[in-house]
Amino acid sequence: MPEQSTSHLDPASVRRVVDAALREDGAHHDVTTNALVPGDQLGNAYVVAKADGVLAGVPVAQCAFELLDNCVIISPIMPEGAVLKVGDRVLELEGPFAPILSGERVALNFLQRLSGVATATRRLVEAIAGTQARIVDTRKTTPGLRELERYAVHVGGGQNHRFNLSDGVLIKDNHIAAARNRDLSITQVVEQARRDVAHTLRIEIEVTTFDEADEALRAGADVILLDNMPATEMRRVVEHVQGRAMLEASGGVTFETVRGIAETGVDLISVGAITHSAPTLDLSLELDL
């Protein structure tokens, strides 16, 4: 049940998250820079790519420097979503060196993290090109950074699943286990959810077998999540459902397996790894002396 993709960042949210990061890092009381760099020393600096990847998070990095000193002029060189090669300059900075140095780590932390998410997402999106499937994220995000990481997924070409637990009904294996402990079937679970939640919300349920998928379909589930299901079984479910419900594949998705999963005909492939395990993209800030 993908929600509308987070295609832009809320400036107030960015400011709140970045301000917290700057305070955590003690950037307003940088004893090393305060001791060694005069406040009136001016110059230029730039952020450069040390690895190939996809750029995301420039507005967040900009915010870090602006919150420390609005005299720092930040000029993006590469747009969000740009494919970077080693040595590419990402953005340039001009102004007092002190706030540039004090904000360096926080700005790079965000820029590297979000670019890593965008890079991991783009890799999977390109791997399934030509199929009807779409790559979507999950709630397996860094606490406090969900909005930023979902944005990076969008920059990488993916789409967003529900933002939080209030956005949609997703009946997981433990919900089903708890219901079965009360002698409820999948059909009864779906019917109860339909009765008890707003009519505007879609009902999604996780299944692991063809028979469970069939029962969920007959119960009227809007979305059926095929959890860790072999590709041959997924294809069988796709042929049986024939578009009567949206089908989402999840569980253990890798770059090596994602194409085969997409070719079964599922609509969505949710991948927690694009947020919880994406390697950061190596970027560096250099003074232009």
Catalytic positions, please? 105, 140, 172, 206, 227
| Number of other residues whose CB lies within 10 A of the CB of residue 34 | 12
Sheet architecture: strand order including 283-288: 73-76, 89-96, 42-49, 283-288
Burial, 226: exposed, middle or buried (Cβ in 10 Å; 0-12, 13-18, 19+)?
buried
Rounded to 10 degrees, what is the CA torsion of 272, 274, 279, 280?
-120
| Number of other residues whose CB lies within 10 A of the CB of residue 52 | 13
Contacts 24+ apart (CB under 8 A), 182-185: 185/215
